[in-house]
């Protein structure tokens, strides 16, 4: 799960090469048509989910698809939230997500401070470790993790899941925070110190406000990861009342056969917070693992 979602830099529009005259205009038209087609194909599944969620049952169970929900209804949503354990799942997800976000931001900030502001023995090794550890497949770790957690008595407990999520988001959040800290010129802090602030004062007055966007970015990342994660929650949380939203959604069908309308309504509800946050990060904060990789 540590690497399902990555956030890349906001693209800067490059100057498109210019062609010539009328031929150029027809060619532009061709490209635009192709672009529209691609856009339609890419977005269609998401559209189909939302459209289905609003359709009454007989429009869903129809051999000829109804492309637009002509008589939109909220009954699917009503059904979805009346599914057993929906509110439990919401509560559990919120607990897990807020704990993971709070803890990961604090831990990542401390660690990245060490990596960005200090030179110490073992620094590079730690960086390599952080990058490398992100690559260890969760599917492989889940076996020993299960053994470990059962020894610690953390099976079927939210605390265990929180601890695991926290650890899995840490490498990326530390890495990202470090980038933000490195981006703050050393001179700013030094200027504050020359102006009479203590090292700690300089830290509180100068560094902390500037690193704000970094804190927001990492917490959104942690939020998305913890919200979306499935495997760990599925393996470690057995009691239905203790499961998170993604497990609830995944087991939706197995409870009552496949009831597509409420399922799509539930899926829409589960996706909504993440979609909103994602669109937020994309617009405001540009960071990512490949920024600057092109340079010479």
Determine the interface stretch with other proteins among 63-71, 73-81, 94-102, 204-212 (rule: CB under 8 A).
63-71
Alpha-helical regions (H) of 55-155: 57-60, 75-81, 86-117, 123-133, 138-151
Taking residue 242's Cβ as centre, other Cβ atoms within 10 Å add up to 18
Query: Does residue 58 belong to the site contacting other proteins (CB under 8 A)?
Result: no
What is the separation of C-alpha 213 from the centre of its chain, rounded to a whole number of angstroms?
16
Question: What 3-state DSSP class applies to 81?
Answer: helix
Given a contact cutoff of 8 angstroms between Cβ atoms, the answer to whether 278 and 86 are in contact is no
Query: Does residue 254 belong to the site contacting other proteins (CB under 8 A)?
Result: yes
Question: Which of 91, 126, 197, 216 is in the footprint of other proteins by CB under 8 A?
Answer: 126
**Binders of other proteins in range 139-158 (CB under 8 A):** 139-148, 150-151
With CB under 8 A as the rule, give the number of residues binding other proteins.
119
Question: Which of 96, 100, 101, 111 is in the footprint of other proteins by CB under 8 A?
Answer: 111
Query: Does residue 197 belong to the site contacting other proteins (CB under 8 A)?
Result: no
Rounded CA separation 98/92 (Å): 10
Query: Does residue 249 belong to the site contacting other proteins (CB under 8 A)?
Result: yes
- Indicate the helix (H) or strand (E) that contains 191: helix 186-194
Rounded CA separation 207/215 (Å): 12
Distance of closest approach, residue 166 Cβ to other proteins, in angstroms: 6
Query: Does residue 271 belong to the site contacting other proteins (CB under 8 A)?
Result: yes
Query: Does residue 257 belong to the site contacting other proteins (CB under 8 A)?
Result: no
Query: Does residue 31 belong to the site contacting other proteins (CB under 8 A)?
Result: yes
Query: Does residue 98 belong to the site contacting other proteins (CB under 8 A)?
Result: no
Token pair belonging to 284 = 């405001």
Token pair belonging to 39 = 């856009």
Query: Does residue 110 belong to the site contacting other proteins (CB under 8 A)?
Result: yes
Rounded CA separation 251/235 (Å): 13
Q: Measured from the CB atom, is 28 or 71 closer to other proteins?
A: 28
In sequence order, which residues have a C-beta less than 8 Å from that of residue 71 and are 6 or more positions away? 55, 56, 59
Query: Does residue 137 belong to the site contacting other proteins (CB under 8 A)?
Result: yes
Distance of closest approach, residue 131 Cβ to other proteins, in angstroms: 6
């Amino acid at each position: 799960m540590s690497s399902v979602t990555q956030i890349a830099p906001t693209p800067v529009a490059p100057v498109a090469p210019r062609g010539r005259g009328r031929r150029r205009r027809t060619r532009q038209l061709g490209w635009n048509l192709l672009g529209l087609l691609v856009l339609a194909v890419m977005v269609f599944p998401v559209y189909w989910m939302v459209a289905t969620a609003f359709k009454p049952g007989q429009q869903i169970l129809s051999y000829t698809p109804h492309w637009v929900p002509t008589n939109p209804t909220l009954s699917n949503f009503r059904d979805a939230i009346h599914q057993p354990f929906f509110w439990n799942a919401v509560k559990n997800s919120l607990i897990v997500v807020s704990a993971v976000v709070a803890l990961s931001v604090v831990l990542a900030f401390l660690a990245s401070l060490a990596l960005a502001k200090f030179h110490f023995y073992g620094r590079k090794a730690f960086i390599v470790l952080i990058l490398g550890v992100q690559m260890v497949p969760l599917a492989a770790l889940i076996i020993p993790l299960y053994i470990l957690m059962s020894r610690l008595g953390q099976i079927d407990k939210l605390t265990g899941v929180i601890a695991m999520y926290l650890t899995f988001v840490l490498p990326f959040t530390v890495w990202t925070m470090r980038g933000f800290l490195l981006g703050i010129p050393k001179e700013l802090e030094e200027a504050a110190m020359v102006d009479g602030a203590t090292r700690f004062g300089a830290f509180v007055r100068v560094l902390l406000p500037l690193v704000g966007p970094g804190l927001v970015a990492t917490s959104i990342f942690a939020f998305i990861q913890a919200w979306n994660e499935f495997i760990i929650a599925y393996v470690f949380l057995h009691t239905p009342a203790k499961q998170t939203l993604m497990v609830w959604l995944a087991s939706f069908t197995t409870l009552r056969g496949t009831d597509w309308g409420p399922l799509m309504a539930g899926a829409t509800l589960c996706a909504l917070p993440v979609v909103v946050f994602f669109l937020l990060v994309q617009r405001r904060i540009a960071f990512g693992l490949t920024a600057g990789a092109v340079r010479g």
